[in-house]
């Protein structure tokens, strides 16, 4: 823990003086360079390829990206397509750019290409048409995470076509299944079945990025060095049922609804870790009510009133404690019958150090109804292993940030969500959430309606990440 604190302190002190102040608003974007035009085409093709579980195909998206890589000069032997025979649409691709120095490090560029469901009737725009409007790109996956996927593909192509190969080896893995817990997961499959394809000294993944303020000014860059544990719980009420003309006092739907209202009203204990304290430090410098409350909570972690006030900001609330929320409902079998079964999915993001069973027991205690059954749907899913704050990894992030984002602090962060990084603990490989692409404080519609990403954020983040990968790979 002391080594972690010392590394954390070193990471923070290298932020320029006054870096916690908001950087000035950037100038308008210039016309696109030719390389940016080529990149935009990759991004558009990814967003416009439907990769939802219900109607899309990751296999098709992987094939399109593989075709681009092959056209750039990657031989067939350095492209590996994979899919489980029982999930033919959930395939992916691994590409290898071999370095000139066998002793140099190997870096994995990891990205999931599947996206959350999106229905045209709910969206203002077609979710599977990339729309550029009012300084934003709109589309499902525009932010999560086809933006980074496109950067990785573009980076591999540009370095393949460079006059000299990089010293280090680069690997790209585009996988499916990250957004659909319980279905075939390509990252998990690769780690278990083809670890030689993805093994490296470390990997770069989603989960980092950065944050803009409400005015679009750069606030922080973030490198993810940990994440909450993802866990679904099935909450079930059963009942003999009967004819709807003969209501009975115990009703499965009502009992389930009452249980979910209790879950809604419960807040898990507020906690701070070294990582979350560092990640939220810039937010605590803002003079709005949530920022002032957060500063009071930092000064006195026993001040629960301050913690609750700070948690009014959903971004703060997401990382201060375990969160559980109902996400799916199903009940009844006929409109003229009393429900015999009512079920809900409660999705929890568990704070590091707390267990799946502890969280289940907390839900049971909050609901306090023996008629309501709470069970973990996948209790054996691995937990993320926080990667070390290795200077060989963090140092280039800071150095490249000084060029692209001067006066913006780089801080460690803990992801409120979950990522495919969790599967690489089984092959003892650290995965970092890469900085670079900055998001809006409202979350950019990720997993919701009208998902979007600032045009400027994407192009600036792409330039940063390309130079960062070059630094790691020793590319000229």
- Are β-strands 131-133 and 337-338 bridged in parallel, bridged antiparallel, or unpaired? unpaired
Angle at 306 between CA 301 and CA 311, to 5 degrees: 100
- Are β-strands 323-331 and 169-175 bridged in parallel, bridged antiparallel, or unpaired? unpaired
CA distances from 372 to 45, 241, 303 (A): 46, 16, 33
pLDDT tops 70 at residue 468:
yes
Give 269's DSSP letter: P
Taking only the tens place, the pLDDT of each residue in 282-304 is 889 889 999 999 999 999 999 99
pLDDT score of 24 = 56
Environment class of 474 (CB within 10 Å of its CB; exposed 0-12, middle 13-18, buried 19+) = middle
- How many Cα atoms sit within 13 Å of 72 on the Cβ side? 24
Taking only the tens place, the pLDDT of each residue in 109-121 is 999 999 999 999 9
pLDDT score of 476 = 81
Region 54-73 average pLDDT: 98
Taking only the tens place, the pLDDT of each residue in 207-226 is 999 999 989 999 999 999 98
Contact 374, 363 (CB under 8 A): yes
Average pLDDT, the chain: 92
Confidence class of residue 279 from pLDDT cuts 50, 70 and 90? confident
pLDDT score of 118 = 97
Place of tokens 């990149």: 39
pLDDT tops 60 at residue 469:
yes
Taking only the tens place, the pLDDT of each residue in 141-183 is 999 999 999 999 999 999 999 999 999 999 999 999 999 877 8
Q: Which domains, and CATH codes, for the chain?
A: 2-227+386-473 (3.40.630.10), 229-376 (3.30.70.360)
pLDDT score of 19 = 42
pLDDT score of 1 = 37
Nearest to 235, CA basis, from 148, 75, 364, 90: 364
Q: Which two tokens stand for residue 145?
A: 């995470």
Environment class of 287 (CB within 10 Å of its CB; exposed 0-12, middle 13-18, buried 19+) = exposed
Region 87-94 average pLDDT: 97
pLDDT tops 70 at residue 2:
no
d(CA 117, CA 53): 7
Lowest mean pLDDT among 26-35, 40-49, 170-179, 362-371: 26-35
d(CA 257, CA 365): 16
pLDDT score of 58 = 98
pLDDT tops 50 at residue 322:
yes
Share of the chain above pLDDT 90, in %: 84
Q: Angle 146-160/455-473 helices, nearest 10 degrees? A: 50
Region 366-383 average pLDDT: 92
Give DSSP secondary structure letters for 122-158. Answer: GSSS-TTS-EEETTEEESTTTTTTHHHHHHHHHHHHH
DSSP H or E segment with residue 70: helix 58-71
pLDDT score of 7 = 45
Nearby residues of 62 by Cβ (< 8 Å), 6 or more positions away? 81, 91, 92, 93, 113, 174, 176
d(CA 38, CA 154): 8
Beta strands in 297-429, from DSSP E residues, in sequence order? 323-331, 337-338, 341-350, 372-376, 410-415
Q: Which two tokens stand for residue 359?
A: 């969280």
Backbone torsions φ then ψ of 398, nearest 5 degrees: -70, -40
DSSP H or E segment with residue 233: strand 229-238
Confidence class of residue 11 from pLDDT cuts 50, 70 and 90? very low
3-class DSSP state of 427: helix
Taking only the tens place, the pLDDT of each residue in 13-31 is 444 333 444 555 566 788 9
Contact 108, 200 (CB under 8 A): yes
pLDDT tops 90 at residue 275:
no
Taking only the tens place, the pLDDT of each residue in 327-336 is 999 999 999 9
Environment class of 234 (CB within 10 Å of its CB; exposed 0-12, middle 13-18, buried 19+) = middle
pLDDT score of 276 = 87
């Amino acid at each position: 823990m002391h080594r972690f604190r010392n590394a954390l302190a070193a990471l923070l002190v290298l932020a320029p003086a006054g870096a916690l102040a908001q950087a000035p608003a950037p100038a308008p974007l210039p016309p696109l360079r030719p390389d940016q035009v080529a990149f935009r085409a990759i991004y558009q093709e990814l967003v416009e390829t439907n990769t939802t579980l219900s109607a899309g195909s990751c296999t098709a998206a992987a094939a399109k990206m593989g075709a681009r890589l092959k056209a750039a000069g990657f031989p067939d032997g350095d492209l590996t397509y994979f899919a489980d025979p029982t999930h033919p649409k959930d395939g992916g691709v691994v590409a290898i750019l071999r370095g000139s120095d066998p002793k140099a490090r190997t870096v994995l560029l990891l990205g999931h290409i599947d996206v959350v469901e999106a229905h045209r009737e709910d969206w203002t725009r077609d979710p599977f048409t990339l729309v550029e409007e009012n300084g934003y790109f709109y589309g499902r996956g525009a932010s999560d995470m086809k933006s980074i996927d496109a950067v990785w593909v573009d980076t591999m192509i540009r370095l393949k076509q460079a006059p000299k190969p990089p010293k280090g080896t680069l690997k790209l893995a585009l996988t499916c299944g990250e957004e659909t817990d319980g279905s075939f997961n390509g990252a998990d499959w690769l780690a278990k079945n083809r670890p030689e394809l993805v093994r490296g000294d470390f990997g770069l993944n989603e989960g980092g990025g950065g944050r803009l303020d409400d005015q679009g000014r750069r606030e922080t860059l973030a490198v993810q060095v940990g994440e909450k544990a993802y866990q679904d719980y099935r909450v079930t009420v059963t009942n003999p049922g009967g004819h709807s003309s003969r209501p009975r006092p115990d009703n499965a739907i009502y009992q389930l609804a009452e249980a979910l209202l209790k879950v809604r009203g419960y807040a898990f204990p507020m906690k701070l870790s070294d990582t979350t304290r560092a990640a939220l430090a810039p937010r605590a410098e803002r003079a709005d009510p949530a920022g002032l409350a957060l500063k009071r909570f930092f000064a006195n972690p026993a001040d629960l009133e301050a913690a609750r006030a700070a948690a009014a900001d959903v971004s703060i609330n997401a990382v201060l404690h375990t969160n559980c929320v109902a996400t799916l409902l199903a009940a009844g079998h006929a409109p003229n019958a009393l429900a015999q079964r009512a079920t809900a999915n409660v999705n929890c993001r568990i704070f590091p150090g707390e267990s799946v069973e502890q969280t289940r027991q907390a839900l049971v205690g909050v609901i306090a109804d023996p008629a309501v059954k709470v069970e973990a749907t996948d209790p054996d899913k691995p937990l993320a292993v926080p990667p070390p704050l290795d200077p060989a990894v963090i140092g280039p992030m800071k150095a490249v940030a000084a060029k692209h984002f001067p006066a913006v602090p780089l801080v460690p962060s803990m992801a409120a969500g979950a990522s495919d990084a969790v599967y690489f603990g089984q092959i003892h490989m650290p995965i970092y959430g890469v900085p670079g692409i900055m998001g809006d404080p409202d979350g950019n519609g990720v997993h919701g309606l009208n998902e979007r990403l600032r045009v400027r954020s994407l192009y600036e983040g792409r330039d940063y990440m390309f130079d960062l990968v070059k630094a790691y790979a020793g590319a000229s």
